[in-house]
Amino acid sequence: MPEKPAEQPAPESKEPADGPSKVTEAIRPLAKEIIKGGLMTYAALTDSLSGIGKQVSELVDEAKSELSKKEPPPDNNSPDDSSPK
């Protein structure tokens, strides 16, 4: 009786079962570029908003300064007030 050839073990995959698929490998560079674009946009917006915030803060300080320089309104109970009560 002829001998049966020994069974060869199945060739092992070079990637583990939970490793990246070809689709994931194809999408990864695109996803990385999108993330980098988002980070650059965030940085630009942060700088712009920071500049706007600084300008608004300066305007508020100027307005407060101008208000503090004005004389307070006259007291309504003063004798100089000629309006009817």
pLDDT in tens, the chain (85 residues): 556 666 666 555 555 556 678 888 889 999 999 999 999 999 999 988 888 989 999 999 999 999 998 766 667 665 555 556 5
Structure tokens at 72: 């307070």
With 0.75 as the threshold, say if the pTM is over it.
Answer: no
List phi, psi (to 5°) of 4: -75, 140
List phi, psi (to 5°) of 42: -60, -45
The letter for the amino acid at 2 is P
